[in-house]
Amino acid sequence: MKIAMIGSGYVGLVSGACFADFGYRVVCVDADAAKIAKLERGEISIYEPGLDQLVASNVAGGRLSFATNLGEAASDADVVFIAVGTPSRRGDGHADLRHVFTVAAEVAAQISHYKVIAIKSTVPVGTGDRVDEIIRRSKSPSLFSVVSNPEFLREGAAIEDFKRPDRVVVGVPDDRSRAVMEAVYRPLSLNRAPVLFTDRRSSEIVKYATNAFLATKITFINEVADLCERAGADVQQVARGIGFDGRIGPKFLNAGPGYGGSCFPKDISALIKTGSDFEAPLRIAETVSLVNEERKRAMGRKVIKACGGSVKNRTIALLGLAFKPNTDDMREAPSIAIVQVLKDAGAIVRAYDPKAMENAKGFMDDVKFAPSVEACLDGADAMVLVTEWDMFRALDVMEIKRRLKQPIVVDLRNVYRPDEMEAAGFTYVSIGRESVRATSA
């Protein structure tokens, strides 16, 4: 099996390296020459646990290589995966499919024997049909099939998710392409991963409906958290009580500062647009998106309130900037809105993140990036935990108190325990739980 992976970002590089690890010959292609040059030198431009070793061992084994031009890779391949970005189109929230269509036209030029074109990028329903049309302009339909194969991996756990997925979904137009994709995913089906074959349009919708449902679950528990906070209940106990219900399940019920990342915000907005194009409005998704955007800013206001109503000229130490732990991805991270609200209120913002500070520089101005947790906390007026990296879980609370000018902690991930923070003399504000006030603060 020969595979060409077009687009070597999070999805393309992880999928390409995992396919190579199954024993296939994989060429990862990317239009970004600097990215490919780095990969050829053995450098990975994203932070993803385990990826550097996986790439290195498969390159050394001769199964994984890189290219800037898709020509040879695509013409040799049995399956060409399209894994390029599909960002929000500027201004209107539709998915921008420019890269997908460019690649489709370039791949068409390389087809001389039968191959499957598998769309791994997240694309709106009907995109497979449009890619099929593009290729038909120059090639006979007997030479190719276009399939939909959305990716569900999570950044930070991407290799594990790819190798042990909850399910693989493949939308196929014919039996021939189904047989090829069955062979591609045989290593996973042998491992008992469910491989679901559907029609192409259903597969395209599965991806968006999954992300919209997960975003809804997060947003729902976030609103329940607000109720808990005001009513004197504890959202973590409520979430456990809900999560034991087999119809609901315990995952994605951690209340926090709102969802972010490269996928949920843009995918929900693209789904809303698709719904309106098809005159099938998705009002729940619309509300989820609005509530989530508002929540990120509300977190900034929560910090100001915890600091007694003003942060003017006060130094606020943020721990964690990435949209979630174990990634350096800053796209749509709640920290961006929180920093903005704090800066607008006159605060001096200092921040530390173990992996995302370099990327964060492109998303926030006038923030002092600290070289360590300690340097971030020293002399600050308050600490705000924004992203729950493991290294922040084990911090010594008395040490935090010694370093801060005032013992104020705002914990947007419910990492610490209110009773312990109260005993240690903090003003401690978390999500969906009772706040405690230090008598001295």
**Catalytic status, residue 376:** no
Q: Which is nearer to ligand NAD, 5 or 311 (CB)?
A: 5
Q: Which is nearer to ligand NAD, 84 or 318 (CB)?
A: 84
**Residues engaged in binding ligand NAD (CB under 6 A):** 6-12, 29-32, 35, 83-86, 99, 102-103, 121-122, 151, 153, 155, 262-263
Q: Nearest distance from residue 33's CB to ligand NAD, in Å?
A: 9
Q: Which is nearer to ligand NAD, 146 or 239 (CB)?
A: 146
From the number of C-beta atoms within 10 Å of its C-beta (0-12, 13-18, 19+), residue 373 rates as buried
Q: Nearest distance from residue 396's CB to ligand NAD, in Å?
A: 34
How far is it, in rounded angstroms, from Cα 22 to Cα 351? 41
Q: Which is nearer to ligand NAD, 107 or 316 (CB)?
A: 107
How far is it, in rounded angstroms, from Cα 360 to Cα 353? 9
Q: Which is nearer to ligand NAD, 147 or 415 (CB)?
A: 147
Q: Nearest distance from residue 191's CB to ligand NAD, in Å?
A: 20
Q: Nearest distance from residue 391's CB to ligand NAD, in Å?
A: 22
**CB nearest ligand NAD: which residue?**
9
Q: Which of 18, 28, 263, 307 is catalytic?
A: 263
CA quadruple 16, 19, 21, 26: dihedral, nearest 10: -60
3-class DSSP string for the chain: CEEEEECCCHHHHHHHHHHHHCCCEEEEECCCHHHHHHHHCCCCCCCCCCHHHHHHHHHHCCCEEEECCCHHHHHHCCEEEECCCCCECCCCCCECCHHHHHHHHHHHCCCCCCEEEEECCCCCCCHHHHHHHHHHCCCCHHHEEEEECCCCCCCCCHHHHHHCCCCEEEECCCHHHHHHHHHHCHHHHHCCCCEEEECHHHHHHHHHHHHHHHHHHHHHHHHHHHHHHHHCCCHHHHHHHHHCCCCCCCCCCCCCCCCCCCCHHHHHHHHHHHHHHCCCCCHHHHHHHHHHHHHHHHHHHHHHHHCCCCCCCCEEEEECCCCCCCCCCCCCCHHHHHHHHHHHCCCEEEEECCCCHHHHCCCCCCCEECCCHHHHHCCCCEEEECCCCHHHHCCCHHHHHHHCCCCEEEECCCCCCHHHHHHCCCEEECCCCCCECCCCC
Q: Nearest distance from residue 131's CB to ligand NAD, in Å?
A: 13
Which residues are 171's β-sheet partners?
148, 198
Q: Which is nearer to ligand NAD, 56 or 214 (CB)?
A: 214
How far is it, in rounded angstroms, from Cα 147 to Cα 201? 10
Q: Which is nearer to ligand NAD, 120 or 413 (CB)?
A: 120
Q: Which is nearer to ligand NAD, 8 or 335 (CB)?
A: 8
How far is it, in rounded angstroms, from Cα 176 to Cα 114? 10
Q: Nearest distance from residue 209's CB to ligand NAD, in Å?
A: 14
Q: Nearest distance from residue 211's CB to ligand NAD, in Å?
A: 8
Q: Nearest distance from residue 371's CB to ligand NAD, in Å?
A: 27
Residues tagged active-site? 263
